Amino acid sequence: MSGTLHELVAEFPDFRALVRHLQETDGHFARLCRSYEDLSRRVHLAERRNEPAGDAMLIDMCKQRRQLKEEIYGMLVQPEPEAEVIKLAV
């Protein structure tokens, strides 16, 4: 375990502006980011032994953090859906 804090801006430096934009405009994305950052802090504290956590619990938290990171990455690389064009009959 590394003992370093995994912040989203450090994990996805090429997507910094997009992360900020989606956090402001997409509630689901913002919740994922908050969950990731909270879990990352908990892992960091546990790795530094500032917070009591067993090895199994630490491994589980790391897996959850990785899953959140993968879901966030998936949202960053998928193109935004284009607005539907409604054709009106005249």
- The residue range of the domain holding 13 is 6-80
Write the CA distances from 33 to 46, 49, 55, 78, 87, integer angstroms.
20, 24, 25, 16, 37
Is the pLDDT assigned to residue 66 strictly greater than 50?
yes
Is the pLDDT assigned to residue 74 strictly greater than 80?
yes
For residue 21, which phi and psi values (nearest 5 degrees)? -60, -50
Asked, for residue 17, whether it belongs to a domain, the answer is: yes
Question: Model's pTM, two decimal places?
Answer: 0.76
Q: Is 80:44 a contact under the CB 8 Å cutoff?
A: no
Is the pLDDT assigned to residue 70 strictly greater than 90?
yes
Asked, for residue 65, whether it belongs to a domain, the answer is: yes
**Which of 65, 71, 67 has the alpha carbon at shortest distance from 5?**
65
pLDDT at position 1 is: 44
Asked, for residue 89, whether it belongs to a domain, the answer is: no
Asked, for residue 87, whether it belongs to a domain, the answer is: no
Q: Is 36:68 a contact under the CB 8 Å cutoff?
A: yes
Q: Lowest mean pLDDT: which of 25-29, 50-54, 74-78?
A: 50-54
